[in-house]
Amino acid sequence: MTASRAPAEPEVREFEATVESVDDRAIVLDETYFYAESGGQPADRGTIDGILLADVIERDGRVVHILDQDAETLPEAGETVSAVVDDAFRTYCTRAHTASHVLYGAARRTCDDLGYAGFDISATKVRVDLTTAEPLDDADLVELERLANRAVWDSLPVSWEALPEDEARAVDGIAFNTKTEEGAMSGSEAVRVVTVGERGGERDGEHGGENAPTWDVAACGGTHVRNTSEIGPISVLDRSNPGEGVTRVEFAVGPTAIDREAAVHAAALDAATALDAQIGDLPDAVDRLRERADRLEADLQAATADLLAARLREFPVNNVDADGDDGATWAVGTVDDADPNDLREPAQRVLAEADAPDAIAAVGTGDSPFVVAAVAEEAVGGGDDDNAPNAGAVVDAVTDEFGGGGGGGPTFAQGGGLDADPDAVVAWLRDR
């Protein structure tokens, strides 16, 4: 078996090795420092004798290096080759992987009934899947980010060792998920345990120092930094729920995190300038702006209702015969720039005034004509008068004649989707 030495010695970037076998473009070396994709960490990039690697995979307990298809010549079995691990990509993956452990350590301090459901490293962000008793909210994300960056600042040591499986499972608080961290087993009875902070320290502690706490401990087969200070800034991006009881937290490290924080800072500065406030005072300024907007919205709705009521008062009054309501007086006309629901209160207000008609029928203009009918409560009475005006009956008559649909009760009804010019609907109502 040829296991990767990358997890044990993540700083190695160049090495020489002997080719054990060649199968088409699949190369097996007698030893390798390339990391094969496993447990959410992507495969290393790099070259073997100047030939680009297309992939690094583990197959039957052996690390297999897949060479790029454009290579003209390939190494032969028994040949010594020079290998170079892509430094930038390995550094990013190593920092990102340790950052995922740091974030999980932060979650240990903020979440109840915490469980680990996997992680993944992409080119621009990292995700960690957590199982928690309650879904995480925005305040939880802020606290996760704060605690994680504090752990970075505190320069906690990061170490790893191989332990017998029963001993590894007995480690206090260990995150152990062989499905998501298959590299931790490495095909042997030993389990690779990665510890952030000092093993055996007080887990509840937040800060580092001489007696650094155990920030996190987990079974893991990935590559890691030696100290959390190497990670750099951690910026939490978003959260989602990919499955029942699972919260996915996405975050960035390195340049992406720096750019993200700069963008957030710029947005906060712009908002503060627009609101004539300091960044720290933005929540209060936004609350005041929201209260003002609510007042203006209420004033606008009241003014709109007054305008609609004034328009309804202008409607000509005549008799409308709908299902036997002979003798009822109806005010009929058109309204512009109105929603059917906006007309209920103004119509009832007008109907309650002195010398008001028994009922109102309003036809909305625009691309989607509608009809609204309203009847005064006293005109409907107790419901025993078959000749009483009925809003629903009028709307049904209109939609039967002009298409569309709608409904409602005796005092208020509405219909939409009329296939007719609004003025034609008004004329038809007045002629009934």
What pTM was estimated for this model as a whole?
A: 0.73
| CA atoms 54, 57, 60, 62: torsion sign | positive
pLDDT of residue 350: 92
Confidence at residue 381, expressed as pLDDT on a 0 to 100 scale: 59
- Residue matched to tokens 């790099």: 46
For every one of its 432 residues, what pLDDT tens digit does the chain have, with 9 covering 90 and above? 578 999 999 999 999 999 999 988 999 999 999 999 998 999 999 999 999 999 999 998 899 999 998 877 889 999 999 999 999 999 999 999 999 999 999 999 999 889 988 899 999 999 999 999 888 999 999 999 999 999 999 999 999 999 999 999 999 889 887 555 555 555 567 899 999 998 765 544 554 444 457 999 999 999 999 999 999 999 999 999 988 889 999 999 988 899 999 999 999 999 999 999 999 999 999 999 999 999 999 999 999 999 999 999 999 988 655 554 556 889 999 999 888 989 999 999 999 988 889 999 999 998 889 999 999 887 775 445 556 789 999 999 999 999 989 889 999 999 999 988 999 999 998 887
Architecture of domain 310-431: Roll (3.10)
Q: Give, in words, the CATH class of 14-85.
A: mainly beta
First to last CA, the chain: 94
Q: Strands 359-364 and 329-335, how do they pair?
A: parallel
Read off the amino acid at residue 340. P
Which residues of the chain are in CATH 2.40.30.130 domains? 14-85
Whether the Cβ atoms of residue 67 and residue 83 lie closer than 8 Å to each other: no
In angstroms, the CA 320 to CA 340 distance is 20
Location of each CATH 3.10.310.40 domain in the chain: 310-431
Tell me, what's the pLDDT at 368? 85
- Fold annotation for 91-269: Threonyl-tRNA Synthetase; Chain A, domain 2 (3.30.980)
Round to whole Å and give the CA distance between 227 and 101. 12
Task: Considering the chain, tell me which residue range(s) the CATH 3.30.980.10 domain(s) occupy.
Answer: 91-269
Q: Which amino acid is at 34?
A: F
Cα–Cα distance measured from residue 18 to residue 363, given in angstroms and rounded to the nearest whole number: 87
